[in-house]
Amino acid sequence: MIIVTNDEGRPGVGRTAALLAKGASRLDAIEAGIRLVEADPAIRTVGRGGLANMVGRVQLDAMIMDGDTLESGAVGAIEGFAHAITIARAVKDRLPHELLVGAGAERFAREIGAERADNLTDASAEIWQDWLEATVPIADRARCQDSAALAPYVRNAIKADLLPSDDDITAPVDDDRPQGADTTVFLAIDHTGALGCGVSTSGWAWKYPGRLGDSPIVGAGAYADSRYGAAACTGTGEMAIRAGTSRSIVLYLKMGLALNEAVDAAIDDLRGLKGGLIDRITIHAIDAAGASRVVAVNAQQDRQFWQWRDGEAKPQRIQAERVDL
């Protein structure tokens, strides 16, 4: 048994490990761990306390996938609910569909009695207001919610120098724990040897309303196949969508490449991207035998991840490799 999750998974990795150790299924353990991340307002890019979009609203994306059946469920651009991962799980379990977005996803969430929540905290609202005042002219600010043209500000919204500083994003909410600044991803192998994956995020800070990143897109943000392996990405979702990064890694494993070779091949695919948004992306991958590799691509600083294996007393925090394109 193994779990690999990124640093943002810290609030939930212990719970996931404990459940797997007791014989829980990979999806039950993954969902339970991600729910704890979603509930922690200190993780400001997932669930409650997530950073807002351009009009000051928190829109969530999530996906979960069973590596045995290749069934998945995902939701995108959903507002007003505490646990996007649980709604995504219900899409997989209760509907013939793979992905619901926006108003339809919210309708389904109400039908299943999903827990409601206002995910915009005072802290995330303040960060959004600071961005608005620094980026959008006064004449357009009052109209941001309805008629103002937002497209001219999208490029500024994703420039690194306009994103919250590390101090802003990682500043403690009510304690001195390290806090998160990325999508959370969980990869797991349970006691049966089956694989699963799950992801949850509030996406880019100040994204255009309705923007979907890679997280809810099967094969881009995450993918699992118990015969070969699983992978998940964080960072610039647009890159993972264009390259189909997570699915590519699993396909390279299927072709007979070793895990290190499969990840290297996927990184080479990213080097083939021309134009568009090219920035940082972190790849998390495991193979069916339980080998793991995490690589931070174009990272401006070191990235860490958490890993737990059967028999270990607690999850270990490990530094990811760094590679530039």
pLDDT at 306: 98
What's the predicted TM-score (pTM) here?
0.92
In this predicted structure, which of 73-77, 137-141, 186-190 has the lowest mean pLDDT? Answer: 137-141
Query: Which residue segments constitute the domains of the chain, with CATH numbers given?
Result: 2-119+177-323 (3.60.20.30)
100/140 Cα distance (integer angstroms): 31
Is 86 one of the annotated active-site residues of the chain? no
Share of the chain above pLDDT 90, in %: 81
Nearest to residue 245, comparing CAs of 267, 260, 224? 267
| CA nearest neighbour of 3 among 38, 30, 39, 32 | 30
79 contact partners, CB below 8 Å, separation of at least 6? 57, 58, 59, 60, 106, 119
Q: What are the tens digits of pLDDT across the range 227-261?
A: 999 999 999 999 999 999 999 999 999 999 999 99
Neighbour tally for 313: CB within 10 Å: 7
Torsion of CA 18, 24, 30, 33, to 10 degrees: -30
DSSP, collapsed to helix, strand or coil, labels residue 18 as: helix
* Annotated active-site residue in 121, 183, 234, 245: 183
